Amino acid sequence: MGMSLRNNGLYHFRGLIFAAVAFIGLAVFAIGYTILNLRADTIEDAFKDTGNIATVLAEQVAQTGRSIDLVLSDVEDRATMLDIRKPGDFRRVMATEYGYLLLKSRADRFPQADLVSVVDSNGDLIASSRGWPLPALSLADRDYFQHFKNNTESHTYVSGPAKNRITGAPTVFFAKPLRADNKELLGLIVVGVSISKFWHVYETVGLLGEQGFILARTDGMVLVRYPEGLVHALAAIPPASPWYAAVENGGGNFRSPADLTADLRLVSIRPVPGYPLVVNVGVSEAVALSTWRQRSVSMAAGTLLAVICAFILLSAVANRVRLLRNSEASLAAKSRELEIAKAQTDAAVNNITQGISMFDAAQRLIVCNARYMEIYALSPDVIKPGATFQEILEYRKAHGNYINDPSHFIANSAEHVQEGKKFTHTATLTDGRVIAVAANPTMDGGWVATHEDITERHHAQVLIAHMASHDTLTGLCNRMAFEERLNEAIIRLNRHGEKFSLIMFDLDKFKTVNDTLGHLVGDAVFKGVGERVKSCVCELDTAARLGGDEFVILQAHVDDPEESARTLANRLLDAMREPFTIDGCELPASVSIGIALAPKDGSDMEKLVRRADLALYRAKAEGRNRLRFFDADIDMPEPGMPKTHPRLTD
């Protein structure tokens, strides 16, 4: 009878063993499936990161292109004003010191340009910002000259990378034709940008990290590679590459085979708005998956350890049932093994770079790792498993590490958990750190959250946004940002009648400083001007550097534009009279100021800028170091005065 009972019990126990083995197998399968999903998510995140960076860099390239177009259009407009109708006229006017000074002034306003040149209808170089007079040099073999020679297009053409025959540096050329009314080619205006200037932009931003960058034309020709050794000296993207399909679809992602790089890469494609250019940002798949591999190894090791422990435990229980032994020493040994396993698991969790916290349905802390405690400066003596979410937030608030209302955030979190939705938010701590939090509801009504310090990434994004709208030398707004603010002011004027004024000024005799002391001293003066302008304007004013020594202030939200402009202009005159001290030397300084009022002097951008500039020109003609409001007499030039001041085409 006893033997029957023992056999029956052993039979049932074997069934439990088989069920446990099946359960372990299912758990191992689930872990493997999770690892594969994590791999797919990692690749997707890598594509998102490269896509975001490609979008930012595409906009940077577009801004550079727009700046180049401004230079090309500026020179084209100046040539048009000179009433050039034949190739001979074009050569006669531009192959002079005037042409050199015109091109040099435009090159000085666009520091990324290596040179600005003019080529006649025969392909001969007739003027360059690099010097005057020029040696005889034919550029008829250049692809941009052949392009415009063989068709009547007038858009800006981007050349392939070529050696600059003046500087010897690898250069990308942006060319625009000047044509007569009958479409006859009069000549070309060319801006050359050294490839090293593109490298400098991306090294300065420090955005790419492990990623690589390629700038190419939409026809597949590679213009810029960063870093230089990223590809095998490709002149063009291979025709069979999936790159072309991504470009045709307006951007996208793909896995790049070895025809582009030495290793398999995850590549994001973004077109440059308004230009036949494409930005590629890619990261090695091996680099992108490195963190996933580490986590997968940790998960696999933990799973293997758990399986081993489970089989050991089952074997131990089976031996005890089979042999009817129950040894206290054996139980103690197994307990020690479990403690070691727990310590190993805790070590793995605490070595993860992200903070991890888990709460139950009652909003009580179940577990957290050391990184979570470190991020929020929590005391392990106070914050322990069982502490409520509200207690943790109140502790943080009491210690100056939380600035919001805990009750509101707790209610909002509970609402997301009840809906079973993943919720994320970004928290800025009192010490300036930025923390990204992602929380996933659990089946029991609680949630698991990860906490990642993204301060450096956030600061990089803020830096890029600032660089896109501000002049790097003076810290003032750049021309693009100023035009946006001026358009906004004109809209407010038309809709609500809000008056404003434009105060335009430049430095008197600044060219003498540049010519005698050099551009480094000139740059130091510009920085000083930027600081003094900032000290004169208020928060609602927009101060900008348009280029060179040209500055402008948009003064809006004032009841009496004329009086407010006069007060600010006098403040500027006083501030600028103080000499600049550069390397121990005092440089005398003064400015001439022209003022236009809206709507009195106009209600559109072109007219207001033109009239402020005319007033500035009159102030300089009357002796400099003074202000001048626009009036009707200024619009009628005095004898000997040019009908259009050169600045009006800037």
pLDDT in tens, 71-119: 778 777 777 777 677 787 788 878 888 888 888 888 888 777 888 889 9
d(CA 530, CA 633): 32
What is the number of structural domains in the chain? 3
CA dihedral 533, 536, 542, 546 (to 10 degrees): -20
pLDDT in tens, 430-444: 777 888 888 888 888
Do residues 601 and 488 both lie within one domain? Answer: yes
Higher pLDDT, residue 144 or 5: 144
- The distance of Cα 586 from the centroid of its chain, to the nearest Å, equals 39
Residue 645, both tokens: 């001041």
Contact 452, 194 (CB under 8 A): no
d(CA 563, CA 135): 55
pLDDT confidence of residue 453: 76
Higher pLDDT, residue 403 or 579: 579
Give the pLDDT mean for 620-630.
90
d(CA 134, CA 125): 8
Contact 173, 201 (CB under 8 A): no
d(CA 301, CA 391): 35
d(CA 85, CA 318): 103
Higher pLDDT, residue 541 or 354: 541
The residues facing 280 across adjacent strands are: 214, 269
pLDDT in tens, 144-169: 888 888 888 888 888 888 888 887 88
Do residues 483 and 560 both lie within one domain? Answer: yes
pLDDT confidence of residue 630: 92
Do residues 636 and 503 both lie within one domain? Answer: yes
H-only helix segments in 206-358: 243-248, 285-288, 290-323, 328-350
pLDDT in tens, 474-507: 888 888 889 999 999 999 999 988 999 999 998 8
- The CATH number that applies at residue 504 is 3.30.70.270
Residue 449, both tokens: 């959250």
Residue 442, both tokens: 């659990």
Do residues 605 and 632 both lie within one domain? Answer: yes
Domain membership of residue 56 (yes or no) is no
pLDDT confidence of residue 347: 65
Range of lowest pLDDT (4-13, 88-97, 133-142, 496-505): 4-13
Do residues 483 and 440 both lie within one domain? Answer: no
Do residues 428 and 474 both lie within one domain? Answer: no
pLDDT confidence of residue 612: 92
Domain's final residue, options 236, 270, 289: 289
Residue 221 is classified by DSSP as: B
pLDDT in tens, 297-321: 888 888 888 888 877 877 776 676 5
SS (H, E, C) 101-150: HHHHHHHHHCCCCCEEEEEECCCEEEEECCCCCCCCCECCCCHHHHHHHC
Domain membership of residue 532 (yes or no) is yes
Instruction: Output the DSSP codes for 470-527.
Output: B-TTT-SB-HHHHHHHHHHHHHHHHHH---EEEEEEEETTHHHHHHHH-HHHHHHHHH
Do residues 475 and 447 both lie within one domain? Answer: no
3-state DSSP call for residue 160? coil
Residue 391, both tokens: 């207690």
Q: Which residues of 2-18 are buried (b: 16+ CB within 10 A; e: fewer)?
A: eeeeeeeeeeeeeeebe
Tell me the backbone φ, ψ of residue 551, rounded to 5 degrees: -130, 160
Q: Which domain does 277 fall in, by range?
A: 198-289
Give the pLDDT mean for 567-573.
91
Contact 560, 500 (CB under 8 A): no
Instruction: Output the DSSP codes for 367-421.
Output: EE-HHHHHHTT--TTTS-TT-BHHHHHHHHHHTTS--S-HHHHHHHHHHHHHHT-
3-state DSSP call for residue 257? coil
Domain membership of residue 319 (yes or no) is no
Domain's final residue, options 457, 479, 502: 457
Helix, strand, coil fractions of the chain, as percent rounded to 5: 50, 20, 30
Instruction: Assess whether pLDDT exceeds 60 at residue 2.
Output: no
pLDDT confidence of residue 13: 64
Contact 366, 386 (CB under 8 A): no
The upper half-sphere exposure of residue 361, i.e. CA atoms within 13 Å in the direction of its Cβ, equals: 5
Q: Which long-range contacts (CB under 8 A, 24 or more apart) does 135-142 make?
A: 137/165, 137/166, 139/165, 142/173
Sign of CA dihedral 532, 536, 540, 542: negative
Contact 599, 584 (CB under 8 A): no
Beta strands per DSSP E along 140-221:
157-158, 162-163, 170-179, 185-194, 212-217
Domain's final residue, options 416, 434, 457: 457
Q: How far is CA 519 from CA 223, 284, 510, 578, in A?
A: 30, 42, 11, 21
pLDDT confidence of residue 570: 92
Do residues 360 and 237 both lie within one domain? Answer: no
d(CA 445, CA 456): 34
pLDDT in tens, 517-528: 777 777 888 888
How far is the first Cα of the chain from the last one, in angstroms, to the nearest whole number?
Answer: 109
Higher pLDDT, residue 593 or 181: 593
pLDDT confidence of residue 643: 44
Domain membership of residue 219 (yes or no) is yes
Do residues 563 and 534 both lie within one domain? Answer: yes
Length of the chain: 650
3-state DSSP call for residue 246? helix
Domain membership of residue 327 (yes or no) is no
pLDDT confidence of residue 488: 92
- The CATH number that applies at residue 226 is 3.30.450.20
Task: For residue 3, name the pLDDT band (cuts at 50, 70, 90).
Answer: very low
Do residues 437 and 475 both lie within one domain? Answer: no
pLDDT confidence of residue 258: 54
pLDDT confidence of residue 267: 85
Domain membership of residue 165 (yes or no) is no
Do residues 474 and 575 both lie within one domain? Answer: yes
**Chain mean pLDDT for the chain:** 79
pLDDT confidence of residue 8: 59
Domain membership of residue 442 (yes or no) is yes
Domain membership of residue 23 (yes or no) is no
Taking alpha carbons only, the member of 309, 292, 380 closest to residue 343 is 309
Instruction: Assess whether pLDDT exceeds 70 at residue 642.
Output: no
Instruction: Assess whether pLDDT exceeds 80 at residue 328.
Output: no
Task: For residue 510, name the pLDDT band (cuts at 50, 70, 90).
Answer: confident
Angle at 86 between CA 82 and CA 89, to 5 degrees: 50
pLDDT confidence of residue 357: 84
Strands 222-226, 252-256: pairing is: unpaired
Do residues 481 and 519 both lie within one domain? Answer: yes
